[in-house]
Amino acid sequence: MGGCAPGFGAELRRRRKAVGLSLTELSAMLHYSKGYLSKIENDRKAPSPELARRCDSVLGADGALLVLAPGRRSYLRRRVRDDAAGEGLTDGYRLPDAAHSAARRDEAGCVPLGPGVTVTTLAAVGLAAQHDRTAAGFQAMFIQVRRLGMTISPALVLPILAAQIKVLRELASAADGSSRRRLLLLAARYAEYAGWMAQEAGDDRAAGWWTDMAVGFATAAGDRDLASYALVRHALIALYRRDACRTVALARRAQSHREVAPRVLGLAAQREAQGHALAGDYDDCQRALERARDLLAVAGPDGSGLPVLGSSTVPDSVDMVTAWCLYDLGRPQQAVDMLQQELARVPATAARARTRFAVRLSMARAAVGDLDGSCATAAGALPTAAIVDSATIRLDLRDLARVFARWPRHPAVAALSPQLGGVRNRPAPGR
């Protein structure tokens, strides 16, 4: 049986026949081969999570078929166990507090820098009386570094961020009052973005380290928003590891602190929706998306005067997240329609975001059988994917390659495969 879920194949056959579909017709609707589906129905192969979600959606099973899939059953067992225990699905996860984060620095409290990076001390530059003006300069630099991070390899951005974080820490240690708070908040923003760049460079451990450091800076400044947003960032790491339970758990924890800004709560609700979609929970996903939309609609400036947390390049993040959730929920045609619309709204300067969602649009097009369109979309995204050098985009490209593997003889797929392989198989920096 190969670890198959008992009953999935039989239930798939029963529901297919109940709606009057032949195996050939279901094959055409799902864009999987008849022979492959026959093996699923006869329990000779276990369904992938993607196929299970597609079958459930196409046959209108409302989750009754999906619940028999191996991954879904594991997810439900963890939810029942952890909810009963009051653990909120954390499965032992604990976000390090500020003191723990601080202890992970060296004895001098310095941020580790990359090879060859040097920083001039506060005493050398003589800025003790100019903290506010200096903070404004660092904020302007941060905006420029984030723009740079949209278009080049994260490995090139990280040393810049590390150097600025060290300087900001030195400046904050010599300041007091509102100047110290602003410098610490800037250091927190830099460190949070360094966490994202580390994840994009393929180093999840460093991503968590930088994010925890950001929490330490923000906590010292009396800001609680970043501590909750750090949970959203850790949830993203879990999402890319395909851990639906942990994604949902961390996103819910981020929403449990109602005193934080609506924007942070809205971003957390979006992440929760993505976790539910990964698990095939349509209703919970939609409820989380509605909550995200309501929260982000009322979110205003956080009062710090700093750049907003989270992406600022996607005009409607809820619609974009909804589009990808629909794909994960087995509704690829709806995903295609929304992704095309939203991708057209992302500015050309946001190369990383445009590439990410173009790859996802390619996957959705392949899932509905539009192989020529899928390959054309992917071909347009691959040159930029090589430049931005994103580990998370490479994960999506590997998923795309697995989708294309079902049609190795299709002319467009065969022509694209060498270029696709060259980008998706690039090793992460330092590995």
122 and 42 share a domain? no
Residue 1 included in any domain? no
pLDDT at 74: 55
Q: Residue 116: pLDDT band by 50, 70, 90 thresholds? A: very low
Phi and psi, residue 335, nearest 5°: -65, -45
Please state, in angstroms and rounded to a whole number, the distance separating the CA atoms of residues 388 and 153: 5
76 and 100 share a domain? no
pLDDT at 128: 45
Reply yes or no on whether the pLDDT at 417 is more than 70: yes
136 and 74 share a domain? no
Q: Residue 302: pLDDT band by 50, 70, 90 thresholds? A: low
Residue 426 included in any domain? yes
Reply yes or no on whether the pLDDT at 101 is more than 60: no
The residue from 28, 62, 85 where one domain ends is 85
217 and 117 share a domain? yes
**What's the one-letter identity of residue 77?**
R
Please state the domain count of the chain.
Answer: 3
Q: Is the CB of residue 186 less than 8 Å from the CB of residue 142?
A: yes
Please state, in angstroms and rounded to a whole number, the distance separating the CA atoms of residues 366 and 360: 10
Q: Which residue from 69, 54, 49 is spatially nearest to 332, judged by alpha carbons?
A: 54
| Greater pLDDT, 370 or 23 | 370
Q: What is the mean pLDDT of the chain?
A: 82
Residue 421 included in any domain? yes
pLDDT at 130: 65
pLDDT at 78: 55
Residue 323 included in any domain? no
Alpha-helical regions (H) of 117-258: 122-125, 131-149, 154-174, 177-200, 204-220, 225-240, 244-255
* C-alpha triplet 241, 242, 244: angle, nearest 5°: 120
For 26-76, what is each residue's pLDDT tens digit?
Answer: 888 888 888 888 988 888 888 888 888 888 888 888 777 877 877 655 555
For 176-210, what is each residue's pLDDT tens digit?
Answer: 888 888 899 999 999 999 999 999 999 999 999 99
126 and 205 share a domain? yes
> Could you identify the residue written with the tokens 């909804």?
322
Phi and psi, residue 282, nearest 5°: -65, -50
Domain holding 50: CATH number?
Answer: 1.10.260.40
Reply yes or no on whether the pLDDT at 112 is more than 60: no
> Could you identify the residue written with the tokens 């392949």?
366
| Percent of the residues in the chain that have a pLDDT greater than 70, as a whole number | 81
Please state, in angstroms and rounded to a whole number, the distance separating the CA atoms of residues 138 and 85: 46
407 and 369 share a domain? yes
- Between the CA of residue 170 and those of 111, 121, 164, 184, 226, what are the distances in Å? 11, 7, 10, 10, 21
DSSP string, 30-89: HTS-HHHHHHHHTTSSPPPHHHHHHHHHHTT-TTTTGGGSHHHHHHHHHHHHHHHHT-TT
Domain that holds residue 54: 8-85
The residue from 36, 65, 85 where one domain ends is 85
pLDDT at 7: 83
Rounded to two decimals, the pTM is 0.80
The residue from 60, 85, 110 where one domain ends is 85
pLDDT at 359: 95
